[in-house]
Structure 1
C-alpha cells in the first residue's frame, strides 16, 4: 500500500488473491471504481475496493452473472433483499438445469436399455421433445378441442386439470410416455380433424350447454377420486348421480332410467382411441388418478347400475 493508503492494480490483485486481469475486468465494467490515478496515469484503489472485490468474488461463486451483480453493488443499503432475490432467481434457474439433466439422463437410459430394433423409433420420439419438456403443446391441444362456447375461466380450469404435471426426476418409462403423449397430440390427422375426441351427436344437439356439463363433470370427478385412488370397484352412488345430472342438465332434461340408458349409448358412441391413448399415457406420468380414469370409473359404474337386477324380479 502506498503512502496515500491506496493500492496499485497489482497490489490489489495480490491482496484479493486474484489476477491483475480479473481486477481490470471488473474495473473496466464499473464494478470496481478506482480511488485515484497515479502521476503516471495508473489506477489506484483504496481499502473499500478490496471489500467490494471480495464481495464480487463471493457472488460469482454462486454463479451469478456479472450483469446481475452490478445492481447488487449499487444497492448496498438494501443488499440483503437484493441478494435474496438474486439467489432465489439463481435457484430457479439451477432447478431448471437439474431437471433438464435428469430428463436427459433418463432419455439416455431409455435408449441404452431398449432392444436395438426399437432404438431408432424411440430416438425419433425423444428428439421431438424439448429438454426439459414443455407441456405447452398439451395445453394447446386441449384448448383446440374443447367447445368454443366455454367461458375462458372454465377452459383454464379444465386445461390445468387435464395437462399432467411432469416429474422432475423421471424414470425412463416416463420419458417414453411423455414422448408418446407429445406425438399423440401433434400427429397430423386425416381429413384435418383435431385428433382428439370429436363432438358427439348429443353435444351438437340444439340447446346443448357445455358449461353446465363441464361444471358438473368437475364435481363428479372430484367425488370419484377417493374410490379411483383406492382401487375400489365402480359402484352407483353420489358420484354417479352427479355425473348423470351433469349430462342431463347440459341437455335441459332430468335424470331418469330412460336417460341413463340413453347416456350409456351416447358415451359408448363418443369413445375415441386418441383420448383413450392420451389418458393412458398421462396416467403413467402422475401418481394420482387422471380425469380419464375418473371418467372410465363412472362409465363402468353406470354399466353396473343398469345391469343390476331390478328388485322384486
Structure 2
C-alpha cells in the first residue's frame, strides 16, 4: 500500500488557506506539481505543491507579476538572483506609485483648502499635470530658451540647476507652484517664439557655454550668502559673476566693462516668476526658501549696481 500523500484540489486549498479557484488557476498554468491523478482523472497533490502554493501567494502579495513568479519557480539555480531582480523592479514601481499617491493627496488638499471661488482654477492647473509629475515640459522650455548648438554637457548642467524636481512628499503649496510652472512653460508665447536674452546673440554658442559655466560658479558662491540673508556686496562672488560675462565677450573685467554690463543686464528679459515658483517647489513646508539661479542672479545684479555706484 502506498503511503504517499495525495490531496484533492479542495484539500490542498484548505491547507493553504486559499480558494479552489486559486489553486486551479495556478495548476492550469503548470505552476503546481501533481503527484498523481485519481481514477476519475482528478488531480492529486502532495506537500511539495503546498509549499509551492504558499511561495506563489507570498510572491503575488508582494506584487510580483505572474511571469516573474514563473521565473523564480522555474530557474532554481538562479532563483535568488531572479527574486532579487524582481523585488528591485517592484520596489521601483511602488516608489513611483507612492509618489503619485502623495501628489494626488496634496493636490486634493490644495483644492479642499482653497476658497470656493478659486477651486475651478486650481483644478484646471493641477489637472494639466501628469501624475507623478514630469519635468519634461520645463526642460523643453529651457532648451528653447538656451542658445542653439550649445554643447550637450553644458545644457545638461544648466537644466540641473534650472529645472526643479517635484518633491516626493509635496505640500499643497508645492503642488500649486509646480502646476503653475507647468502652465507657464507650456503656454504659447507671443509671436510663437520665446524671447532670447541678448547675451545669447552676442556671445554665440561657444561664448554662452563659457558664460553658463562661469555663472554656475558665481551662483554657488552666492548660495551660502543667501542662506544667511546677507545683503548684496562686492566680493568674490561678484568678481566670478563679472568674469563670466567678460570671458564670454572676449573682454576683461574692468570698471569700463562693469558699468555697461549692469545696463545691459537691466534690459534683459527676466523670468522672476519662474524662479519664485521654483523656490517654492524646492522648499519643504515650513522651511526657509532655497537659493535658486534667479535669486542668486538678483543678488549679483544688485551687488554690481552697488559696486558701480560706490566707484562713481
Q: TM-score, normalised by structure 2?
A: 0.91
Counterparts of 1:306 and 1:230, CA distance in 2: 24
1:46-103 deviation digits (Å, cap 9, x = unpaired): 3211111111111122222222211111233333333232222222222222221221
Counterparts of 1:102 and 1:206, CA distance in 2: 44
Matched, 1:93 2:93: yes
> What is aligned with 1:72?
72
Counterparts of 1:15 and 1:111, CA distance in 2: 49
Does the Cα contact within 8 Å between 2:33 and 2:48 map onto a contact in 1? no
Give the SS at the match of 1:232: coil
Give matches, 1:195-206, under 5 Å. Answer: 197-200=195-198, 202-205=199-202
Does the Cα contact within 8 Å between 1:7 and 1:44 map onto a contact in 2? yes
Give matches, 1:10-21, under 5 Å. Answer: 10-21=10-21
Give matches, 1:135-214, under 5 Å. Answer: 135-194=135-194, 197-200=195-198, 202-205=199-202, 209-214=207-212
- CA shift at 1:3, angstroms? 4.0
Runs (5+) with no aligned partner, structure 1: none
Counterparts of 1:189 and 1:87, CA distance in 2: 46
Matched, 1:239 2:237: yes
Does the Cα contact within 8 Å between 1:221 and 1:291 map onto a contact in 2? yes
From the superposition, tell whether residues 120 and 206 of structure 1 become closer, same or farther in structure 2 (CA, over 3 Å). closer
Give the SS at the match of 2:41: coil
From the superposition, tell whether residues 182 and 158 of structure 1 become closer, same or farther in structure 2 (CA, over 3 Å). same
Aligned residues: 304
> What is aligned with 2:9?
9
Give the SS at the match of 1:236: coil
Does the Cα contact within 8 Å between 2:203 and 2:248 map onto a contact in 1? no
Counterparts of 2:220 and 2:202, CA distance in 1: 27
1:226-268 deviation digits (Å, cap 9, x = unpaired): 1112211111111111111110111111111011011101111
Does the Cα contact within 8 Å between 1:126 and 1:179 map onto a contact in 2? yes
> What is aligned with 1:294?
296
Counterparts of 2:139 and 2:34, CA distance in 1: 54
Counterparts of 1:142 and 1:309, CA distance in 2: 36
1:251-290 deviation digits (Å, cap 9, x = unpaired): 1111110110111011111132xx2111110010113311
